[in-house]
Amino acid sequence: MPSNGESNLDSVRARVNDIPFEGSGKLKGKAAAAKLFAREGAAHIYLVDYSDKEINPLLDHLKRTYPSTKVSFFKADAADPQAVSSIIDSALEAEGRFDFFFANAGILQTVDPTKVVQNGNGASTTATYLPGEDEFMEVVRVNSLGPYIAIRYASAAMGKVCPEKGKYTPGGSIVITSSVAGLKNSAGPIPYSASKAAVISMAQTSAWAFAGKNIRVNAVCPGVIETNMLLNAAKADHKGYGGQEKLNPL
């Protein structure tokens, strides 16, 4: 995401509680982030999703509320390196600079209601449900490989300067989404928790690696948020996911 100036990078703050957009659960993350970036002066926001279902209300809202911010949508897989690198290249070509990347795509394994069991503590849990290897790898592909691809290609773009656009030194900010499931042993199924723990380690290592290049890398670890992904899981494990709401750090 190119900004209108380098100073705007430091002004992006987590003030997302007043988002005046009522969309489906699937759009909550996009709406909150996109609205925040537009409000803070982003020159051009590039939204990426594997599905274009229900995206038009968000695009219309952003264009109507923030006419000075360009908004583009790409239907693509966030864990596809060719797609991600192509979109970043498009942003560089159009704006001359690339300043921010928010890697927020994520999936949860399919939860089979018949596999929800009681753990040793008597709590309802899906943690002991072990899916097949293909399903495990798909969760890791989206949740862990996706952020790695973001870091790899976004950092390269952020290292480029463009005096014509007011960017005289390399730099930028990358935010990748983890979860409390990456921190705690009772916050999610094994594949999901493992994939989110990897994201935390990735952010820590990347932040150290890019420390001298003016590129910041951070991970956010939200608790339970009412999206379609979590609602579907809750239907299979209502008691277990109900208790996980208490893990929300907010």
For 185-237, how does the pLDDT look when each residue is reduced to its tens digit (9 = 90+)?
877 889 999 999 999 999 999 999 999 999 999 999 988 665 555 555 545 45
Structure-token match 């909150």, residue found: 32
Q: Using CA atoms, how far apart are residues 243 and 206, in angstroms rounded to an integer?
A: 33
What pLDDT was estimated at residue 175? 97
Q: How confident is the model at residue 15 (pLDDT cuts 50, 70, 90)?
A: very low
Distance CA 116, CA 53 (A): 30
**Count of CB atoms situated within 10 Å of the CB of 14:** 10
In whole angstroms, give the CA distance from residue 85 to residue 81: 6
Q: Report the pLDDT averaged over residues 5-11.
A: 45
- Average pLDDT in the 100-112 region? 85
Q: For 107-138, how does the pLDDT look when each residue is reduced to its tens digit (9 = 90+)?
A: 987 666 556 555 555 554 555 678 889 999 99
Domain locations along the chain = 14-224
Sheet holding 100-103, edge to edge: 100-103, 172-177, 215-220
77, two tokens:
């897989």
pTM: 0.79
The amino acid occupying position 249 is P
Q: Which pLDDT value is given to residue 54?
A: 82
Q: How many residues does the chain have?
A: 250
Query: What pLDDT does residue 224 have?
Result: 66
14-224 falls under which CATH superfamily?
Answer: NAD(P)-binding Rossmann-like Domain (3.40.50.720)
154 touches 172 (CB < 8 A) = yes
Contact 41, 11 (CB under 8 A): yes
Q: What are 216's strand-pairing partners?
A: 173
Give the mean pLDDT of 47-59: 90
> How far apart are alpha carbons 167 and 99 in whole angstroms?
9
- Contacting residues for 221 by C-beta, under 8 A, at least 6 apart: 178, 179, 180, 182, 183, 196, 200, 249
